[in-house]
Chains A and B, each alone.
Chain A
Amino acid sequence: MALLLFVTLTLFVAIMPALDVQNNNAPLPGSRRLSRLETEGKGIFIAEGCVACHTQQVRNIDMDKIFGPRPGVAADYARITRTDVWRNTATLMGSERTGPDLTNIGNRQPSADWHLLHLFNPRSVVSVSVMPSYEWLFQVKEYPFPEDIVLNVPDEFKKGITGKIIASKQALALVAYLRSLKQIPLPDGRQVPVFLYGKDKTPVAGPGATKPQFDGAALYAANCQACHQENGKGLPGAFPPLVGSELVLNPDPEVQITVIMKGYNGLVSKGYGIMPAVGTNNNLKPEEVAAIVNHERSSWGNNSRHVTAAEAKKIMDSLK
């Protein structure tokens, strides 16, 4: 009797909704299957238990906005089917966010160089990270082949390794998978779910409201710090410094804002990686870009002209 009740309830609350959702679901137009390399990377993601700390769901609440431009919908997961005979479907939505959400990491952090360094030792790019090092996804060779990807690991994280540090195929697959994680825009005409529990948009009037509405330091931490570091010095051989950078000190902010919005590959010849279009990927508003620009211009000994939001808007409009 009790078993009957339990089984009936199970049917109604789990099995039938699950079947209903999975049958009435189609992948979004514009989404694509994972490539072979990316599928292999997803296998490593599962095997290493990354889901223990990283979610893959942008919830429809305001605080998840930083992880993706829109809340997730069922169709986002429609392409995910059973991994193989032995292993179950892995939507990898997760239940713990010790590390950041990865739903849109392919847009938020498209730099492969950054990912590889981060996997080799997360603390080499984010000093306060508690993520494990995935050193075993890398090889050490004295004389790398030309097609090998060599990592410029800062000396303090080499721990006595003298040869060249090479990304293995697994590491490349994992990074390929991470870079494939992008939120696809909903097709035109389909209503985008809203973010709930947003903060009140109207600023509080009164004497206490003199504080700037956009905190440049916080925005820098969220968007730039992972590569350029908190001290603005970057990482030698990977990410260029902003301290004393001509680009930052230039009174005309046009180049600086263009780099933020469009990315940059001008320093590849000097051994630095390609910068992704951070501003566009993360949907930064002109006010936010101006705040970041001004933070960079006034920190770590940099001292350059203050840029207004209107100026930033003008440059950003011209880039579109």
Chain B
Amino acid sequence: MKKIIYFLFLFILGTIPALAASNNDGDTNTVNNLLFDFVLASGLFIFLILVLWLANLCSRLKKETMVIDSNIRELSDQISGFESSELERLINVQKNKRIKQENSRRRGGTGLKSMALFTGFILINKLAAAGDGTGTPTGNIMTSPGMLIMLTLILIPLLATVYFIGVKINGFVKKAHQIRIRREAQSLVKLVDEDKDFYDEVLKRKSALEYTLTDTELGGATAAEDKKALLHNIAEVNNPRFFSSKRKASGVHNIDPNLVKLIMLYLGTATCWLVIGTSIGEYLGIKFVSPDVDHVSWLSFGRLRPVHTNMVFWGWSSLAMIGLGYYVVGTVSNAKIASIKRGYWSLLLLNTAVISGTICLMSGINNGGGEYREYTWPVMLVFAAGIIATLVNYIQTIARRQTRDIYISNWYIIAAVMFLTVIVLVGYIPWWQNGLGETIVQGYYMHQAVGMWFMLFSLGLIYYFLPQQLNTPIYSYSLGILAFWSQILFYTLIGTHHFIFSSIPWWLQTIAIVGSMGMLIPVFSGTTNFLMTFKGNYHKIARSYTLPFYLVGIIFYFTGSTQGTAEAFRATNLIWHFTDFTVAHSHLTMYGIIAFMLWGCIYTLLPRLTGKEPKQSLVGAHFWLALIGMLFYTIPLMTGGTIKGMGWVAGKPFIDGVVLMAPYWLWRAIGGSLMWASHLVFAWNMYVMYASVTEIDERKKVFDQIISIRANTTV
């Protein structure tokens, strides 16, 4: 088989240049020169390989035909490689005393040697011939098509001959090897017969090979007992399984039940907003494919788009982050939350803002169209009040901390909440921002909301939950602090990179681009920090249903943020700005980073608060649907966006871009559907973590009942 392939290869190699040469009759000399070089090079290359092969064969042949002196040492070395059944046969030979002297047909080593010599001779001759054929100076005649065909035709039989010789020698080598083995076997038999010591050695080796353990060497025969309850969550698997079982969450932690209720309400409402918000997003994705799906003013694209973005921003992500923050801030300060009541106020205000903002937008009350700034200021005032209530709560909690230092998580979280307050104030204070001033503030506002609120807060959560889940300290505090300060320094500058080439001052655009470059520092240091924390713990990922979420979040933190830097340059902005690429980018970051991190945190925290775990297969379904869905969503949009942008640069009619995007928009809708399905699974998992009845609950009921009956009867 191998040989056939080899021949085919040779044949093709030989014919391709020939064919090409004959086809390109009228072409310029350079092409023929190239062809000539190609033929020569490939011919020489094959030749070289063949020569190496032949040389190798010859050396093997020499080794095989060397006369063996039946040295005892060498033979006894050999038996250590034997299997026990082979040894048994050898022993039997001795036992039965049946020694058959077999006259081996001697095929003289000398003959083989002469053969080798012969081939060597041919080889040299051929080499010389080949050299003659191909090595003549390359004049014009050498590069003519006729000469090329000629050369190829010579090369083919030449190489074939060398190959055939090789095959022959290979046969000799194999035969010689067999003979050698047979001879050695005979000597062995002879040795067993004659040498008593050797025979004993063989017997010893055989019993050593057949040695087995009794299984009681270490443990002894008594049954084991777990006197200190060291074993938990023993997973016994007695039948084949489709899903690997993951480590269970650690049991209920001792937390103030009032706080538990507050956090659960935050996360519960956040989940509602996620499901509603992404249902709207899904519907918007469908509208790209089927724009006439409805003609209702409240459901039109322009009104629903900001409803979707604001709902997943202020509803889902913000509420989930603040809810998780209520756990982290108190826990790492080792202090109680200052005021649970204020937490409820905050929850109420934030949810009111999202509900009223949504209704306003759908009925056509819009602040002026700046992205993420579509809620009008009365709505955002309610939101800001909620944020300030939480801010006061967090700061007071940290002020009461029992630890000396403020853990890095709280740095990030407090900074995020403070900055959001500033951002909302700057963006919404009503007595300025005329003309282009509005645009500059818009750039600042939309990007700070993303980077200084969502990103900082989520990083703060990760700095607590990731080391906690990996059961290892964070790799480096210094890197965390570096990322913190560099993020503040650079992120603040980059807002206007959303308006590159617009009429805002050129220097401001340049600062934004430089700032985007600078963002590589916090992103690289943050990613390094997290991945180094993961280092040595990668095996834990397969045994955990929360860690994959963190890992995906961290990977997208790196890729998504770096992509943001890449988009900011003038040359790339030229192609990508205004296209669907930016939509893919915002989903890669807000979904790939923030949402995945939040899910990881929620799946970590909730079982600890309620003692109830979701079904592991459903967490897996959530994870994979979300991840695959997001890739189906973003990759087509990035591809389509790039092609569209390049079409614009090339000066194609605008409508061509719309037609071009149709299949990519369809893929986006498909990916969006998967993401949306994953949120339904997530919502169900949340329900299970909240309200399902566990075995422990059932047992507790029975025990309580019995206790109360006994109490009654004794009294």
Q: Which residues of A contact B (CB under 8 A)?
A: 2-3, 5-7, 9-10, 13-15, 17-19, 21-22, 25, 46-53, 55, 57, 59-64, 66, 71-74, 76-83, 85-98, 100, 121-123, 126, 128-136, 196-197, 199, 218, 221-222, 225
Contact = CB atoms under 8 A, between A and B. Distances in A.
Contact of B438 (A76, A86, A88, A95): A88
Contacts of B368: 46, 83, 87-90, 92
Contacts of B649: 62-63, 197
A133 B443 CA distance: 30
A21 B488 contact: no
Contacts of A221: 653, 655-656
Nearest to B300: A132
A5 B411 CA distance: 14
Contacts of A97: 578-579
Contact of B503 (A71, A87, A92): A71
B495 A48 contact: no
B492 A133 contact: no
B373 to A, nearest CB: 7
Interface stretch (B170-178, B220-228, B235-243, B359-367): B359-367
Given A80-B438, A89-B368, A13 B488 contact: no
B574 A131 contact: no
A25 B439 CA distance: 14
Contacts of A79: 435
A-B complex: 10 closest residue pairs judged by Cβ atoms: A49-B302, A22-B437, A97-B578, A47-B364, A59-B501, A90-B368, A14-B444, A51-B369, A18-B437, A9-B492
A24 to B, nearest CB: 10
A267 B422 CA distance: 60
Contacts of B659: 128
Given A7-B422, A51-B369, A87-B365, 17 more contacts: A5-B485, A6-B422, A9-B489, A10-B448, A10-B492, A13-B508, A14-B495, A18-B438, A49-B302, A50-B302, A60-B501, A64-B501, A83-B368, A88-B430, A134-B300, A218-B652, A218-B653
Interface residues of B, number: 86
Given A71-B503, A134-B300, A77 B291 contact: no
Interface in B553-600: 574, 578-580, 582-583
A13 B432 contact: no
A83 B489 CA distance: 33
19 contacts: A2-B411, A2-B415, A9-B488, A13-B444, A19-B437, A22-B435, A48-B300, A61-B574, A73-B503, A77-B503, A78-B436, A79-B435, A85-B430, A86-B378, A88-B367, A88-B438, A130-B665, A135-B295, A218-B651
Given A22-B432, A86-B378, A87-B366, A6 B492 contact: yes
B377 A49 contact: no
Interface in B282-329: 287-288, 291-292, 295-297, 300-303, 305-306
A11 B85 CA distance: 87
A80 B655 contact: no
Given A53-B302, A100-B654, A10 B444 contact: yes
Contacts of A7: 422
Contact of B432 (A18, A136, A218): A18
Contact of A80 (B428, B434, B496): B434
A194 B504 CA distance: 15
Interface of B: 287-288, 291-292, 295-297, 300-303, 305-306, 361, 364-371, 373-374, 376-378, 411, 415, 418-419, 422, 426, 428, 430, 432-444, 448, 452, 484-485, 488-489, 492-493, 495-496, 498-505, 508, 511, 574, 578-580, 582-583, 648-649, 651-656, 658-659, 662, 665
Contacts of B438: 18, 80, 88-91
A80 B370 CA distance: 14
A122 B300 CA distance: 14
B426 to A, nearest CB: 6
A14 B654 CA distance: 33
Contact of A48 (B292, B364, B496, B655): B364
Nearest to A199: B651
Contact of A74 (B300, B442, B504, B648): B504
Contacts of A3: 415, 418-419, 422
A96 B583 contact: yes
Given A72-B503, A132-B302, A88 B433 contact: yes
Given A9-B493, A49-B301, A57-B502, A87 B432 contact: no
A128 B655 contact: yes
B369 A92 contact: yes
A123 B293 CA distance: 13
B366 A95 contact: no
A76 B373 contact: no
B380 to A, nearest CB: 10
A318 B436 CA distance: 42
Nearest to B376: A86
B444 to A, nearest CB: 4
B301 A132 contact: yes
Contacts of B419: 3, 6
Nearest to A217: B653
Contacts of B448: 10
Contacts of A197: 574, 649
A3 B420 CA distance: 11
Contacts of B365: 47, 86-87
- Chain B CB count within 10 A is highest, among A55, A80, A88, A131, for A88
A56 to B, nearest CB: 10
B447 to A, nearest CB: 10
A129 B652 contact: no
Contacts of A128: 655, 658-659, 662
Contacts of A135: 295
Given A49-B301, A88-B370, A78 B435 contact: yes
A196 B500 CA distance: 12
A83 B376 CA distance: 12
Contacts of B367: 87-88
A60 B573 CA distance: 13
Nearest to B419: A6
Contacts of B495: 13-14
Nearest to A9: B492
Contacts of B654: 66, 100, 222
A78 B374 CA distance: 22
A2 B437 contact: no
Given A49-B302, A130-B288, A63 B435 contact: no
Contacts of B574: 61, 63, 197
Given A49-B302, A77-B436, A225-B655, A59 B502 contact: yes
